[in-house]
Every structure is written in C-alpha cells, then in structure tokens.
Amino acid sequence: MTDAQPVDTTPLGGDWGPHAGTPAVRSLAAMIAADRLPHALLISGPVGVGKRDLAIRVAQTLLCESVEPAQGPCRECRTCQRLHNPSQPSLDPQHTDVEVIGPGTLCAEPTHDHRNTRTIGICVIRRIEHVATLTPFEADRRIFIVNPADALTADAADAFLKTLEEPPEPVHFILLTAQEAQLSETIRSRCRSITLAPLPADELDAWLEYWAGTAGVQIPEEPQRRAELTRLARGRPGWLQAGLSAGDPVALRAAQIDDAVRIASADRAERLNWSDQLSGRSATAQTVANIELILDAWSDWWRDLWLCLGNGADSLTHTSQRERIEQIAPMYDQRHITQFLEQIQRTRALLQQGVNARLALDVLLLSIPSARTSP
C-alpha cells in the first residue's frame, strides 16, 4: 500500500476513527502498512481530542485477526473486542499483552500503595522493564500505553529512557500526552511524534452523526442545542463521545454554570467549604480530572460574560444561557473578568504540575471578581 492511500481518507473512515482523514493518522496507517511502525510512538493533543482512542486503534490494528490489518482494525474480531468494548468504552483493554500504564498502576514493589497517586513512579517503570522482556502470552508482541506520559516522575522518565532506546523486539510503547512540553526532550527525541488537532466543526458534526448511529447513542435534534454541544466540544471527538455516553453534556454544563453563579455570590466560608468538597482528603488523578472539567466550564462561562461586555455576544459558547449572561454580565468589570480568566489558567497549570489541589482551588475561589451592587 502506498503512502497516498493507506486508509479511507474521508472524515468517516470508521476503522481509524474521527481523525482518519488527517495527515497524522494517514501517516501512521502508512507506517503500519509498511511494517515500519517505530517501537516508541508519542501521540499528543488536547484533552478529549481522541488520543486514547487512537492508541487503542493502533493496538487493535497490530493484533487484529483480520487478514488485512493494515487497512485498520476490523473492530469486530475477538481480539479487537477485547481491546475495546463498545458497551464500556472507558474500560482498559482486556488482553494479556496490552497494558495501560498510568497513575495507580501496579509496580515492582508489593508493599507500595499507589491508589491515590497522581504520578507514575520509577517502581512502575521497573516492573514494565521486566514485563517487556517476557515472551508475549497470546500475541506476537506486547503493547504498553502510557497515559498520561507527562505523569512520569523525573526518576521514572530517566529510567524509561534505556527501554525506549533499546526496546525488546516484540514490544511497542505508545505514549499519550496533552502537555508535550512537560516531557523531557530526551523522551520526546526517542519517539515518533503524532499530533492530533481539534477537528473542524463540520467534520466533528459528521463524525458525531456516524458515531452516534453505530454506538446507539441519542444526540440532540434541536439545531440550537446541537450547535451548543459542538461549541462545547471545541473540536474534540473524545470529549463528545465521553459526554454523550455518560448523559447530556449540555445539561451537565448548565448545572456547572449554576454552581459558578452560586459560588460567585457566596461568602468566604461557603467557597472554602465547596473547595473542600471538590478536592476531598486526597487529590487522586480522578479528583484532579473532575476539577479540570469544572475549570473548563468556568472558563467558558466567564469568557461569555467578558464577550457580552465587549459586544461579542454573537460568539457566546452558551447560547442557551444568553438571557442569563446578558443579565449578569453588567454586574462585573471586564478587566476583573480578564484577571480571573488568567487565574483559572494558572490554577490549571498548578494542578498539572502536581500542586496541592485544595490549596490551588482555595486561591481560585477567593479570587472570584466581586459583583457590583447595581449594573
């Protein structure tokens, strides 16, 4: 197969997923078709853009029982089904030769407890190094998906380098990250990089139709609600699929906005109490992920208030909240909203750096702009 025709290049090339028609995935498919896939692959892109989905599709393609796996995974054979269960899409692969490595993964030390950790330590890498030398149980190769790779501690990253440089022949490593700059240059230089960008709105909407039909998921029929859903996704098919599989993302966002409005008018004690409820006793990776979802919602909400003050109402994300936005926006100073939006971004960066989630959230909530008593 030539580089020009590795896969179906239409936006709905189902076997290769929502990014099937992009140069990044076409190049990846060509490498697999030519049996030139490197042992270390780095897939980067925004949270929810579809990195994990693509990694699973790569693993399926490499292990697929189809007679022509280079065309992409069949997604129907027993092996493909074990790597991706359509009824439980967030479930890790159930295959002895494919493993997802992340915070909380088992390590080489039986006494270690990583249940509440947000990083991937050197003890985890030591176990991977050992397992990678073992003969695969079922397939002809082993595949490790490191998600997120930026969770590797400095010691773990250093230890991982040798394995990336000289991996056992039947082993592939697929590293995923939304923060490529957080990875060391030495790690990045030992991987073939694939970058997934957000999809244009029309391609995202086309994929949504295709995916919803195959997954049996209901999507909004009302044009306004559908358009708002697309704006919320910001070109990220993974975000759309996860949100729609769990319920109604637009309704969830409305609830998050209710919280944003309530907390903005709350006193100091109530804000700190809410921070305690969100962060809990220990900030696990899941806790931080939940907080980041709230930060996404707040960033969009306060941006809408800012746009309304600046005569940018035609660019609102939450068009279903237009009346509310127009009522609340005049209560704030646009400059103060700008400062708060910057604080949200700083808080997100601090969380990604492993700073205490409760402390970072406390600072954010206490910096919410004060509303004027009258517009």
Which CATH number does the domain housing residue 264 bear?
Answer: 1.20.272
User: Which of 195, 216, 235 is the last residue before a domain boundary?
Assistant: 195
- Co-location of 179 and 304 in the same domain: no
Mean pLDDT of the region 171-186: 93
Last residue of one domain, picked from the residues 132, 165, 195: 195
Q: Is the pLDDT of residue 65 over 50?
A: yes
| Mean pLDDT, rounded, for 292-297 | 93
Q: Looking at residue 52, what is its pLDDT?
A: 95
Which residue range(s) make up the domain with 86? 14-195
Number of domains observed in the structure of the chain: 2
Strands 192-195 and 98-101: unpaired
In whole angstroms, give the CA distance from residue 219 to residue 309.
32
Residue 67, pLDDT score: 61
Q: Is residue 233 part of a domain?
A: no
Q: In this structure, are 68 and 185 located in the same domain?
A: yes
What is the predicted pLDDT for the residue at 69? 57
- Whether residue 289 is contained in a domain is answered as yes
**Same domain (yes/no): 55, 150:** yes
Listed residues 195, 219, 239: the one ending a domain: 195
pLDDT surpasses 50 at 186: yes
Q: Is the peptide bond before 148 cis (omega within 30 degrees of 0)?
A: yes
pLDDT at 72: 81
Say yes or no: 120 and 36 in one domain.
Answer: yes
Q: What letter does residue 106 receive in the DSSP assignment?
A: -
181 and 261 together in one domain:
no
Q: How confident is the model at residue 13 (pLDDT cuts 50, 70, 90)?
A: very low
Q: Name 353's Cβ contacts closer than 8 Å, sequence gap at least 6.
A: none
Q: Give the pLDDT score at 3.
A: 36
pLDDT at 70: 58
pLDDT at position 323: 94
Instruction: Give the pLDDT confidence of 69-96 residue by residue, as tens digits.
Output: 557 888 888 999 999 887 777 788 889 9
Same domain, 105 and 181: yes
> What CATH number should be reported for the domain holding residue 92?
3.40.50.300
With tokens 């890498």, the residue in question is 125
Task: Report if residue 221 sits inside a domain.
Answer: no
Instruction: Tell me, yes or no, whether 32 and 142 share the same domain.
Output: yes
Are 58 and 129 in the same domain?
yes
The DSSP call for residue 152 is: B
Q: What is the rounded average pLDDT of the residues 320-325? A: 93
Burial of residue 333 (number of CB atoms within 10 Å: 0-12, 13-18, 19+):
middle
- Mean pLDDT within 176-202: 93
Q: Could you tell me if residue 85 is inside a domain?
A: yes
> What local confidence, expressed as pLDDT, does residue 196 receive?
96
Phi-psi region of 197 (alpha: psi -120 to 50; beta: other; left: phi over 0): beta
pLDDT of residue 258: 96
- Is 222 a member of any domain? no
- The mean predicted confidence, pLDDT, of the chain is 87
Q: Quick check: is 205 in a domain?
A: no
Q: Which residues pair with 144 in a beta bridge?
A: 99, 173
Q: Which residue, 214, 287, 224, is CA-closest to 250?
A: 224
Considering the domain architecture, whether residues 345 and 252 belong to the same structural domain is answered as yes
10 Å CB burial of residue 7 (0-12, 13-18, 19+) is buried
pLDDT, position 117: 79
pLDDT for the residue numbered 374: 54
In a domain, 212, yes or no: no
Q: Work out whether the CA dihedral 283, 286, 287, 289 comes out positive or negative.
A: positive
- What stretches of 41-194 show up as alpha helix (H) in DSSP? 51-63, 78-83, 122-132, 154-165, 185-189
Q: Are residues 37 and 173 in the same domain?
A: yes
Does residue 315 form part of some domain? yes
Residue 36 gets the label, from left (phi > 0), alpha (psi -120 to 50) or beta, of: alpha
Same domain, 158 and 73: yes
pLDDT digits (tens, 9 = 90+) for 295-311: 999 999 999 999 999 98
Residues 179 and 267 in one domain: no
